[in-house]
Each structure stands twice: as structure tokens, then as C-alpha cells.
């Protein structure tokens, strides 16, 4: 099986982690021109009033074609504190939040210079907690027409492209009684609600033979 090609993502959605489950080798895009308003610097969680977007602020670059690997996280504002408070508000009552909270809290206390490093450190943590062990490498050059399966622009918050290999399997969510099940939220929604069973949800969200 060829490696799968993915963009970097901040606490990526369930669909993204299904690819990490399905493919033993993964290439994370580091050399593309940075794409705004994507999962590269934002995630979606289930807040008490519905889906809530959390966005990591990045520094503006004078280079309109700045590669993703060079995108710096902005030091302005209190986004780390705000994101952590949002996670506590959304998942403080979930079955596994207290179990995993100490693993995630340091990421909202320690500054990271580069978005790619921050995302990948979180991705590595989540893989370890869930039990995923794909071989990960960052791209060294940008491939416009790769031969490998390419999901860099398929998995995105706005107007996602069809993915016949993915169908979100419903699982317990804290506010489902009020909001109904919300599919394909950040992986932390799955992890905080389902804990060790997260791996089974990923498995069952992959359509075989697609």
C-alpha cells in the first residue's frame, strides 16, 4: 500500500485519523503554500451551543507563497488559555476528560514557534493515546500530482470533497441529547468521550474496499 499524503492539522477531525488508522505509512505535507481557513490551524469541537471552531493564530507573512513548514504561531493574545477553557467547558463532564487532561494541558502552556511542530506534537500524542503506530515523515518537496493517495484538500472544514472510504460512525457525545450527534469533529471529541474505544470507532468509520 502506498503512503497516504495528508496536510498538517490542528487536533484533526476523525476522518483524518481514519487515514492514520488505514495507512501504515503517512507523509505530512510541509512544503505546500500555506492554505488559510483550513484544518491546518483550526479544529471543531462540540460546545454546549453546537460546533465551535478553535483557531490557532498565525503570523502574517510577506511571502504570499510561504511554505507551511515556515508558518509561525502568533504570540499575541491569549488563545492558548481560551482554547483550554473551551475544551474544559465542552468536555469537562465527558467520561475521559480527566483521564487525559494532564496529557493535553502542557500544549496550552508551552509556546511553540512553528505551527507544523505544534500540530505534529499533538498528533504524536493522540496517536500514542489511541494506539496508532503509523510511520510518519514530512515531505521534502511539494508534489503537485503525487502517485500516492492524496487527501491534502479532501479533508477540510468548508466544502469537503467526497471520500467514499469514510462514513462517520455515531458515538456518545456529551451534548447529543440536545444537539444530536455531530459527525467528524476534532479527534479530542472522540477521545474524551470514548477513551480506549476510540480505536474501534475509527475502525468502524472506514468503509472496506473503498
**pLDDT tens digits, 30-72:** 999 999 899 999 999 999 999 999 999 999 877 778 999 999 9
Give 200-209 pLDDT, tens digit per residue.
999 999 998 6
- Is residue 28 domain-resident? yes
How many alpha carbons lie under 13 Å from residue 60 in its C-beta half-sphere? 1
C-alpha cell at 24: 501504515
Q: Structure pTM?
A: 0.95
Confidence of residue 75 (pLDDT cuts 50, 70, 90): confident
Which helix (H) or strand (E) is 100 found in, with range? helix 97-104
Residue 117: count other Cβ atoms within 10 Å of its Cβ: 13
Residue 209 inside a domain? The answer is: no
At residue 176, does pLDDT exceed 60? Answer: yes
In this structure, is residue 47 part of a structural domain?
yes
* Position 210 in a domain: no
Q: The domain containing residue 113 runs over which residues?
A: 4-204
For the stretch 152-174, pLDDT in tens is 999 999 888 999 999 999 999 99
pLDDT above 90 coverage of the chain, percent: 88
CA contacts within 13 A on the Cβ side of 39: 32
Q: How many CA atoms lie within 13 A of 71 on its CB side?
A: 27
**Residue 37, Ramachandran bin (φ over 0: left; ψ between -120 and 50: alpha; else beta):** left
Is 194 inside a domain boundary? yes
Residue 91 in any domain: the answer is yes
What is the rounded CA–CA span in Å between residue 152 and residue 5? Answer: 6
Total domains in the fold of the chain: 1
Query: Is residue 113 situated within a structural domain?
Result: yes
Return the CA Rg of the chain: 16
Amino acid at each position: 500500500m502506498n503512503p497516504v499524503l495528508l496536510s498538517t492539522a490542528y487536533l484533526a477531525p476523525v476522518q483524518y485519523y481514519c487515514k492514520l488508522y488505514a495507512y501504515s505509512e503517512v507523509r505530512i505535507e510541509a512544503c505546500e503554500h500555506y492554505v488559510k481557513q483550513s484544518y491546518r490551524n483550526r479544529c471543531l469541537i462540540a460546545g454546549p451551543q453546537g460546533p465551535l471552531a478553535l483557531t490557532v493564530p498565525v503570523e502574517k507573512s510577506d511571502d504570499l507563497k510561504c511554505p507551511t513548514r515556515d508558518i509561525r504561531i502568533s504570540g499575541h493574545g491569549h488563545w492558548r488559555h481560551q482554547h483550554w477553557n473551551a475544551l474544559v467547558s465542552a468536555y469537562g463532564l465527558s467520561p475521559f476528560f480527566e483521564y487525559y487532561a494532564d496529557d493535553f494541558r502542557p500544549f496550552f502552556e508551552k509556546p511553540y514557534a512553528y505551527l507544523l511542530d505544534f500540530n505534529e506534537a499533538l498528533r504524536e500524542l493522540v496517536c500514542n493515546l489511541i494506539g496508532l503506530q503509523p510511520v510518519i515523515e514530512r515531505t521534502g518537496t511539494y508534489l503537485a500530482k503525487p502517485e500516492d493517495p492524496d487527501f491534502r484538500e479532501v479533508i477540510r472544514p468548508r466544502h469537503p470533497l467526497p471520500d467514499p472510504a469514510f462514513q462517520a460512525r455515531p458515538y456518545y457525545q456529551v451534548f447529543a441529547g440536545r444537539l444530536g450527534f455531530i459527525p467528524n469533529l476534532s479527534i479530542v471529541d472522540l477521545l474524551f468521550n470514548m477513551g480506549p474505544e476510540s480505536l474501534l470507532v475509527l475502525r468502524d468509520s472506514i468503509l472496506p474496499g473503498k
